[in-house]
Amino acid sequence: MLDLTVGGLLAEQVHKFGEEEAVVYPEKNLRWTHRKFQNQVNRTAKGLMKLGLKKGHHLSIWATNQPEWLITQFATAKIGTVMITVNTHYRVRELEYLLRQSDTETLILEEQVHGTRFIDMLYQICPELIHSQPGRLKAKRLPHLKNVILLGDKRYPGTFIWRDLIEMGAELDDEELMRREASLSPDDVINMQYTSGTTGFLKGVMLTHRNIVNNARNIAECMRLTQADRMCIPVPFFHCFGCVLGTLACVSVGATMIPLVTFDAGKVLETVEKERCTALHGVPTMFISELNHPRFSRTDFSTLRTGIMAGSNCPIEVMRKVTEEMGIRELTIAYGQTESSPVITQTRTDDALEMRVTTVGKPLPHVEVKVVDPQTGELLGDGQQGELCTRGYHVMKGYYKMPRETEEVIDEEGWLHTGDLAIRTEEGYYRITGRLKDMIIRGGENIYPREIEEFLYTHPKVLDVQIVGVPDEKYGEIPVAFVRKKEGTDCSEEEIRQFCTGKIAKYKIPEHVIFVDSYPMTASGKIQKYKLREQFMINRQES
């Protein structure tokens, strides 16, 4: 176990690998050594201190994987300011809720992303900003918010720009920053991420230095990541996948971070080849896009060795293709949730392929895992399905200002109840079999969507599939399949149902098959099944 803050972890790697490459942004022609990256971090940290941010203050960042995002992650950690990651898919209602509920005092944001103007949304929430002096905002709807910092050079009323922050930092000497760092503890909350999971209910997850530093190091060890590795990071920083499994895991061993500002399958393939990447992260839908990209067959994957597929259920067929066709022979599967920093279990690079495609691995070091009966809490044996619970250094401090919700998921003995259904194998590996809330009960028969999904992935025309339970007058609930077809194929509902006949139990065969082009998703790659269910109900009422 590491007894370090995030800033201490970075300093450790600068001491070891100061002149080696730490950060590469191919899109921006930017290359920083570990020492140069730390200099950027320190300048920003001093700027934030000059702005008035103290230990325990809250700063939110609403941006894509920009270099400033990466700098802010470590700058806030050096001064003890809690960084709150804001989903770039959020709009006015979600943004206002997060900023207010989190007591955010400083907001860093991009002017616009993909044509969506973030600055206009902020003015809508804080019209007072237009007539405010930078740093002196008094907003009725957001009483804690004082500072707004824009990335870029264009100035807007009431805001600072990033350059202002750097110039402010020049007014502070290094000793003040060192004193601030010395006052921090690994057990301080330093990162807060708002998660709705698949429920749509936003909660602020409080994570400490100890939570994420140790989780990142253990993740890196499972991948056999070293200073020699070069990781392509196309997953968003604002989720744990990006900022713990990605950036922090790299820093924990001195590996090179190669982020993409936003995900683009073609750019991922180009980056892997040109930068000679050895590691690649992604949610299943990202890997599916890469596998089906026109450039795929022309891409040199010879340097790829490892990486992580996570964020949502990893289809066995997709995992096999990534391993065999992309040549990522040591690809690992990681399982967890934001509340656990986030990884609970992970496969290892030397695990047999069968284990890496059918399980989510074994618990990380210093992590306890058990499977219990969801109704009684009784400990279950190998091969028995129940709720997966975990305990250890990685469990969050709680949900911000939500003690009741925290008590609902962390029991008196410190066990985090994940809400996921799992089975432990005799070898000590875990299989995730579904969500407690996703389980479908059709006429008294329990149906686990994951089982049907894995079966339908073997259909030659199915690219992706999600099974959802919808209300039914006769059976209580029935399964419905939402299917994405492979490009250039034609498939009917009857063909899918016929494919199931005789191969899975009749009650498991989807009553309806809906063909879709995409799924509603969280930015972290989780399919929002409740939205599919809602859409089905609306369409059924209209018809």
119 is a domain residue? yes
> What's the mean pLDDT when you consider all of the chain?
94
222 is a domain residue? yes
Specify the pLDDT at position 199: 46
Both 136 and 244 in a single domain?
Answer: no
Are residues 399 and 193 in contact, defined by beta-carbon separation less than 8 angstroms?
no
Q: CA–CA separation, 244 vs 52, rounded Å? A: 27
Q: Among 189, 213, 248, identify where a domain stops.
A: 189
Both 405 and 496 in a single domain?
Answer: no
Six token digits for residue 194: 């708002």
Specify the pLDDT at position 198: 40
Overall number of domains in the chain: 3
Give me the count of residues in the chain: 543
- Grouping H, G, I as helix, E, B as strand and the rest as coil, residue 149 is strand
Specify the pLDDT at position 52: 97
Residues of the chain where predicted confidence (pLDDT) is lower than 50? 197-200
16 is a domain residue? no
478 is a domain residue? yes
Both 185 and 224 in a single domain?
Answer: no
Q: What is the pTM of this model?
A: 0.85
Both 255 and 346 in a single domain?
Answer: yes
CA-nearest of 318, 321, 276, 320 to 301 is: 276
Specify the pLDDT at position 196: 65
Q: Which residue has the tokens 């050895």?
A: 278
485 is a domain residue? yes
| CATH number of the domain encompassing residue 120 | 3.40.50.980
Q: CA–CA separation, 239 vs 87, rounded Å? A: 8
Both 156 and 215 in a single domain?
Answer: no
| CATH number of the domain encompassing residue 467 | 3.30.300.30
211 is a domain residue? yes
Q: How many angstroms separate the Cα of 152 from the Cα of each of 108, 111, 161?
A: 11, 8, 7
Both 261 and 183 in a single domain?
Answer: no
Specify the pLDDT at position 523: 62
Both 225 and 344 in a single domain?
Answer: yes
Q: Among 147, 166, 189, identify where a domain stops.
A: 189
Q: CA–CA separation, 54 vs 44, rounded Å? A: 14
DSSP conformation class of 501: B
Both 291 and 367 in a single domain?
Answer: yes
- Grouping H, G, I as helix, E, B as strand and the rest as coil, residue 129 is helix
Are residues 199 and 190 in contact, defined by beta-carbon separation less than 8 angstroms?
no
Both 180 and 49 in a single domain?
Answer: yes
Q: CA–CA separation, 104 vs 97, rounded Å? A: 11
The domain of 459 spans 447-542
Q: Among 157, 189, 221, identify where a domain stops.
A: 189
439 is a domain residue? no
Both 184 and 207 in a single domain?
Answer: no
Both 178 and 221 in a single domain?
Answer: no
Both 49 and 144 in a single domain?
Answer: yes
427 is a domain residue? no
Specify the pLDDT at position 477: 86
What does DSSP say about strands 82-85 and 58-62: parallel, antiparallel, or unpaired? parallel
| Residues 6 or more apart whose Cβ sits within 8 Å of residue 168 | 46, 47, 50, 51
Q: For 247, how many CA atoms within 13 A lie in the half-sphere containing its CB?
A: 26
Tens digits of residue pLDDT in 166-209: 999 999 999 999 999 999 999 999 999 998 644 446 899 999 99
| CATH number of the domain encompassing residue 346 | 3.40.50.12780
